[in-house]
Chains A and B, each alone.
Chain A
Amino acid sequence: MEMGALIVAPGGDAGSAIRDSGLCAPSWPVLGKTILQRWIERVQGLGVGLVSVADRNPQEPNRVHTMVEWAKEGVEQVLLIALGSYAEIDLPDLIRFHSEGRRQHTKVFDQQGPLGISLLDRGCILKNREPADQDSDLASSRYDFLGYVVRLSSSVKYRQLVEDALEGRCGIQLTGSQTQPRVWIDETAQVDASATIQAPCYIGPGTKVKAGVALKGCSSVERNCEIDFGTTLDHTSIQPNTYVAPGLYFRESVVDGTRLEHLARSVTVDLGTAGLSARIGTQARHAHRSPRLAHGSGLSRRDAIKEEEHYP
């Protein structure tokens, strides 16, 4: 029986974060791969060759058209995944459950409600060709899932998933090799010997970690980042292509280019204007300017305060 899988994602792009939508969390990589990439791999692992990613925007008709076209071409079942959660669903068991039922539509629920994952039969798709029909509450079977789920509704949830993965509380497989127990560092990352890496943590491909940097508290640094001298990351995730200035201390935060979200304070700050972080590949990276205290790596706090003003 031929099956197709349609994944509905913000922007419909496997590699980009949707910066204006406020829904960055599903698009951010989690320890090397985005949730979208992980879903695609899982679906392909089922032997499903027909996989498509559509835009979440309801104005975009692609997802319905794609499903209808597949159904017309003889695809018997479509697995529809609205990307918004990471859920370790046993997909073969879902397919078996659906096949044993009498409904043409099976929806996956956890204890909080629907997870946005459905399995639809060809007949069901061809009967409901309009977007409104697809969203309506069709007579469907309910598949209750009791396993590991994180709804990626916020940066707090994103950090929860990162920490669970690093602590081995979910099934996410990390990329990179373990240089010491529970420390994953990609082979192409450059980590200075003086950096303090406290397990568990993750450093992605092409990332540079400079002298005196400290990573702790399940911190993660994704691909192509640069963490400058003496900066500490504590329960913090750095998103791809981000430069972080020297001598800073981040806790319970997610930094994406110049945007910092401080999870403990529920505050978002633009670090670009202060020159404390930058998107790598932009000129701002070379114009960073930390306060003098921040440059005092290795010095005591008072030593770092220099008197430069002259009084007449």
Chain B
Amino acid sequence: MTKTQPMTIKRLPEPRDKASRRSFLREIKGFVDSSHRPRLILDLSAIEQITPESIDLLLECVGHAERGDGEVSVAGASPQTSVILEITQAASVLNMFPSVLEAADGHQAHSLQFWKPGYTDDRAA
């Protein structure tokens, strides 16, 4: 199979819809398996405040992407969701962008330092 460096943009399914969740993860796994260094962009702009179930789903996506040496970006997170991702430490394994467009461009809009707090060194210590 020819490996490419593709990118896909998706929205998270409803947190309590198990069938949609299974289907979503199946698609992600299929995408990662057929790609080399895949880039997965998850559009959170429709979510006011992320739920723990959705954070778990994000982290499963990270797990899949890392197995394919890829990366996961989230775009359009609300201020509330950004805070939740920060305090649950999910933000430390995600690239965060203000919009899907900027995520697709790959620019680290705003400063990366803003989104990735300086405690990463402390944790590693």
26 A–B contacts from the bound complex (CB under 8 Å): A232-B119, A234-B119, A248-B88, A248-B89, A251-B86, A251-B117, A251-B119, A253-B87, A269-B83, A271-B87, A276-B87, A291-B56, A291-B88, A291-B90, A293-B88, A293-B90, A294-B88, A294-B89, A301-B89, A301-B93, A302-B63, A305-B59, A307-B60, A307-B63, A309-B21, A311-B29
A269 touches B49 (CB 8 A): yes
Q: 1/0 per residue A274-295: CB within 8 Å of B?
A: 1110000000000001111110
Of all chain A residues, the one with the shortest Cβ separation from B118 is A251
A228-257 at interface with B (beta carbon < 8 Å): 232, 234, 247-251, 253
Of all chain B residues, the one with the shortest Cβ separation from A260 is B83
Complex Cα–Cα for A15 and B62 (A): 46
A305 touches B63 (CB 8 A): yes
The residues of B that contact A232 with a CB separation of less than 8 Å are 119
Complex Cα–Cα for A265 and B87 (A): 12
Complex Cα–Cα for A249 and B121 (A): 14
A57 at interface, CB cutoff 8 A? no
B10 at interface, CB cutoff 8 A? no
Q: B88 touches which one: A234, A290, A302, A309 (CB < 8 A)?
A: A290
In this complex, which of A251, A276, A301 has the most chain B Cβ atoms within 10 angstroms of its Cβ? A301
In this complex, which of A250, A265, A274 has the most chain B Cβ atoms within 10 angstroms of its Cβ? A274
Complex Cα–Cα for A311 and B25 (A): 9
A182 at interface, CB cutoff 8 A? no
Q: How many residues of A contact B (CB 8 A)?
A: 32
In this complex, which of A247, A269, A275 has the most chain B Cβ atoms within 10 angstroms of its Cβ? A269
In this complex, which of A249, A250, A292 has the most chain B Cβ atoms within 10 angstroms of its Cβ? A249
Of all chain A residues, the one with the shortest Cβ separation from B79 is A267
B80 at interface, CB cutoff 8 A? yes
A274 touches B52 (CB 8 A): yes
The residues of A that contact B86 with a CB separation of less than 8 Å are 249, 251, 262
The residues of A that contact B49 with a CB separation of less than 8 Å are 269-270, 273-274
